[in-house]
Every structure is written in C-alpha cells, then in structure tokens.
Chains A and B, each alone.
Chain A
Amino acid sequence: MPTFSLPSVLAAHIGGIRSVATTGTTVDGAIDALVDQYPQLAPRLRDAAGAPYPFVTFYLNDEDVRLVGGFAAAVSDGDEVTIVPAVAGG
C-alpha cells in the first residue's frame, strides 16, 4: 500500500492532511486511488487526459518518477510518493 506525501499547498484542499495511504500497483493507479478518495485533488495532479502536468512533479522513494518509469512505475507496500508542485513565493 503506497503512501502519498502532500505539500501544504495541496493539503489545504483536504483539511490539512499531509499523508494519505492508498492502493494501486503503479504510480498512476495510486493517483487514481488518491483522487477517488479526494476528488478535489484531481485537477491539481494531472490534466484532463490523465497526463502529467509540466508544473507538478512526483517522486517515488525520493527519485523523480520521470527517471524511474514515469506514471507507469510500479509501486508496492511501503513505497512513498511525494508530490511537489511548482511554487514561486520568495
């Protein structure tokens, strides 16, 4: 069961929750499970066609998922997926 780690910019949309355990055997499948649980996150994680946004990055166990297979990368129990959208505050 993979776990998502959410930044405060996304957590603000789900009552401040920063960590969510989900199901799924790929990163994409785990995101499906995450947005099933929290539909309000859906438009903030992927575009309408389900493709990655160029301004939201995902890390599987601290590796950029683009370097380890992208959304098709396999996930299993104990894996952690960290979501990091672009922010510009200074």
Chain B
Amino acid sequence: MSTTIDSTQTTPSVTLPELTRDEMVRYSRHLLLPEVGVEGQRRLKAARVLLVGAGGLGSPAALYLAAAGVGTLGIVDFDVVDLSNLHRQLLHGTSDVGRSKLASAIDRLRDVNPHVVVEPHEIRLTSENALALIARYDLVVDGTDNFQTRYLVNDACVLTGRPNVYGSIFRFDGQVSVFCTADGPCYRCLYREPPPPGMVPSCAEGGVLGILPGLVGTLQATEAIKLILGIGEPLVGRFALIDALGARQRTVAIGRDPTCPACGTRELQSLIDYDAFCGVPAGPEAEAAVPEITPVELAEWIARGDDFDLVDVREPHESAIARLPGARLVPLGGFADAIPTLDRARDIVVHCRSGARSARAVRQLQLAGFTRAWNLAGGILRWSDDVDASVAKY
C-alpha cells in the first residue's frame, strides 16, 4: 500500500524547487537512496509540516525533519523552557531556560539546517484558529500533551483532509500511528471519548522516561517523511506500541469505524468545545472550586501550633524527593478508602506536587460531607517558592 499526501505528491516534478549545490552535498546520503533520490529530496524541500508542540515529541521530530530537509516547518507552542523539560526536550538547552520554546527552537533548527524555513506560531491551538492554520500545511505531527488538543488536532485534520502523524507517551510506553488519511481510521475511531479528568495522570504527575519521546518522536518523523515521499508502508490502520522497559515493539491492527462522528458519519462538521468534551473545567474559577489555603498561611498555622491534619496525596516515590513536615502520606489512588480514617471535626489540609491532585481529594472529602477540608494552593512547588526553598521542586 502506498499512502501519500496530496499536495506534494501531485505536484509535477518540474514545479518542485531545485536543490542548490550546498543542498546536494548536505543531502547526499539521501540522494544515494533510490527511494529518495533527487526528486524525493525536492519533494521534501517542497513539503510543509506543522508540528503541534515543541516539547518531548516535537523536539526529535523537528530536529530530524529539519535535518532531512523538509522545506517548511511550522511549530505551534506558547510555552517557555523550564529546567524540568531538559531531560527529554533536546531542542532546548540549559541556556534556553526561561526563553520561549519557539525562540529556542528557531535558533537550534537554524543551526541544524539553515535551508529550512521555520514558521513560529506562538499561540494556543483552539477551535477558532486550528482549521485555518492546519490547512496551510501538508500534514501535522501531533506532539501535544493533553486530550483536549489531541481531539482538536484530530478533528481539524479530518475536516481539512490533512494526515495526522500521532505520537503519545506515558512513563515507559509510547504509541504511534498515522490518522486521518483518505483510507485509514482517525483518533476518534480508536478512542471515541477521552478518559475522565484525573483517571490518567499526565507526564508531570506520573513521570516519563526521558529517552522515550526520542524513540516516539523519531518514529513520527519517519512516518512524516514516508508520507511526503510516498514510500514504504505507513502506519495507516496500524498502531505501533513501544514498550521501552521490555524492549518490545508491537504493531496492532486498527480499523476505521463507520459510526465515527468525525471520519465515518461526518456528523461532526465543525470544531467543538474540547474542554467541555474532555470534562475539563472551563476556567480558573472552576479550578478554584475547592477551598484553598496558601503555603504562607499554612506556615502560619504550623508556627502558631494550630490543630489540624496535613495529608499528602502523592506517591511514595514522590515523598522521597520532597515532603512537608508532619504530613500523612495517602496516595490519591487509595484516598477514597482512607476517608473513613480522617476526622471530619478537624481542619484537614491536603497537598500534592502542584495542587491538582489534592484538589480532587478535597472534592472527594466535600462529597463525603467534610466541611473543613482545604487544598494547599500550588502544592510543594509553591511551598518551595514561598516558604522553604530547601524543599526540592521536581
């Protein structure tokens, strides 16, 4: 089977851009491959690829696509480089911490290959801008980190007819596929709906092996190049599962779902509210629906000797990294079972790393009738910033 993207594959070779002398040397190892050759390299030069996310997956994908000579790389990201990104996001270096990821990416990619045009899009991809943006590119490489944007990218790719080179990671496992081609399934065919918020932890909560996005992102770049060149067997209708711990890779068969509202029945004719679809609170007010206490206020309670219980809902290995004095460790997964052991007549302060998991625990307490439960706003991270810098941030 040969699945290719339309816009470059149908371009007559006479209208493809010529390669310069420098480019002929730079890409000589490609030119020696009969499957690529001069015409294939000119197709790569003509291609326009949109990378959504310049993080763990976007880093290796951008580096290899630029090195391979993809002529135009659009990159969507609005984040800044954080020290905790650097164990896996190789587009960025230590000197880039605090800079925008796009500025860092442009500098790095210019050095990797000055022949590539990088188009920065320092925006959040939304239902309002996604269609127009994606329509300007031949294919999309999805390197986002949340379900809302994954469904948004999928639906926008279906509606614009652009292939979606999908990759996703968690802890030691990765997933890769090519969705939204003319003859293959889309992401909704595979996963009709996302899990409820909180059921699947994010990489920031659950961790990820730093090298894993390197494996998955380079597979995405490989698939993108195959689609542009029209060679090989693309991962259409197949789902590659990478198990880094077991050193195993399995490819399973997936199929198009004729009842899929996006690519099957086509009842989904425009983009929707993806926060609502994924059950994510719409704004900061919704996030702050539980009573909160700031780290400074908690430090005052402790200093005064106030009588309260402090509960840590992180995992034991997180407690080994940093902990607050006097906290009782009750990981969120077993929190419901521990509720009967808590004293509803006392103030209970619940904390985690950032305040997200502990907010869910406080909601559980509210549902159980507790009226004196408080979420530590910002968790360990803000405690370290505002109260005690000797407590490690991670």
**Distance A53 CA – B191 CA, assembled complex (angstroms):** 9
**Known A62-B250, A64-B254, A84-B239; contact A90-B193, beta-carbon cutoff 8 A:** no
Task: Judge if B13 is at the interface, Cβ distance under 8 Å.
Answer: no
Closest to A52 in B: B192
Contact residues, B118-160 vs A (CB, 8 A): 142-147, 150
Q: How far is the CB of A66 from chain B (nearest CB, A)?
A: 7
Q: How far is the CB of B300 from chain A (nearest CB, A)?
A: 37
1/0 per residue, CB under 8 A from A, across B172-211: the answer is 1101000000000000001111110001111100101000
**Known A64-B253, A64-B254; contact A86-B191, beta-carbon cutoff 8 A:** yes
**Distance A63 CA – B169 CA, assembled complex (angstroms):** 21
Whether B56 and A90, one on each chain, are in contact in the complex, defined by CB atoms closer than 8 angstroms, is yes
A-B contact count (CB 8 A): 108
Chain A interface, number of residues (Cβ within 8 angstroms): 27
Residues of A within 8 A of B146 (CB): 88
Whether A59 and B252, one on each chain, are in contact in the complex, defined by CB atoms closer than 8 angstroms, is yes
Whether A87 and B175, one on each chain, are in contact in the complex, defined by CB atoms closer than 8 angstroms, is yes
1/0 per residue, CB under 8 A from A, across B200-238: the answer is 111100101000010000000000000000000000000
B57, B142, B173: the one within 8 Å of A87 (CB): B173
Q: How far is the CB of A10 from chain B (nearest CB, A)?
A: 10
Residues of A within 8 A of B246 (CB): 18
Whether A62 and B253, one on each chain, are in contact in the complex, defined by CB atoms closer than 8 angstroms, is yes
Whether B171 and A8, one on each chain, are in contact in the complex, defined by CB atoms closer than 8 angstroms, is yes
Closest to A67 in B: B255
**Known A84-B239, A88-B147, A89-B208; contact A8-B173, beta-carbon cutoff 8 A:** yes
Whether A12 and B250, one on each chain, are in contact in the complex, defined by CB atoms closer than 8 angstroms, is no
A18, A55, A63, A82, most chain B CB atoms within 10 A = A55
**Known A84-B239, A89-B169, A90-B143; contact A55-B194, beta-carbon cutoff 8 A:** yes
Whether A8 and B250, one on each chain, are in contact in the complex, defined by CB atoms closer than 8 angstroms, is no
Residues of B within 8 A of A78 (CB): none
Q: How far is the CB of A20 from chain B (nearest CB, A)?
A: 14
Task: Judge if B53 is at the interface, Cβ distance under 8 Å.
Answer: yes
Closest to A64 in B: B254
Q: How far is the CB of B46 from chain A (nearest CB, A)?
A: 27
**Distance A55 CA – B146 CA, assembled complex (angstroms):** 14
Contact residues, B44-76 vs A (CB, 8 A): 53, 55-58
A13, A59, A88: the one within 8 Å of B168 (CB): A88
Whether B200 and A9, one on each chain, are in contact in the complex, defined by CB atoms closer than 8 angstroms, is yes
Task: Judge if A7 is at the interface, Cβ distance under 8 Å.
Answer: yes
Residues of B within 8 A of A18 (CB): 243, 245-246
Whether A89 and B170, one on each chain, are in contact in the complex, defined by CB atoms closer than 8 angstroms, is yes
Residues of A within 8 A of B199 (CB): 44
Residues of B within 8 A of A90 (CB): 53, 55-58, 142-145, 167-169, 203, 213
Contact residues, A39-68 vs B (CB, 8 A): 44, 53-57, 59, 62-64, 66-67
Q: List 8 A-B contacts (CB under 8 A).
A: A8-B170, A8-B245, A55-B195, A57-B190, A62-B252, A66-B255, A82-B252, A87-B175
List 6 A-B pairs, minimum CB-CB distance, nearest first.
Answer: A54-B192, A87-B170, A89-B203, A90-B145, A54-B193, A8-B171
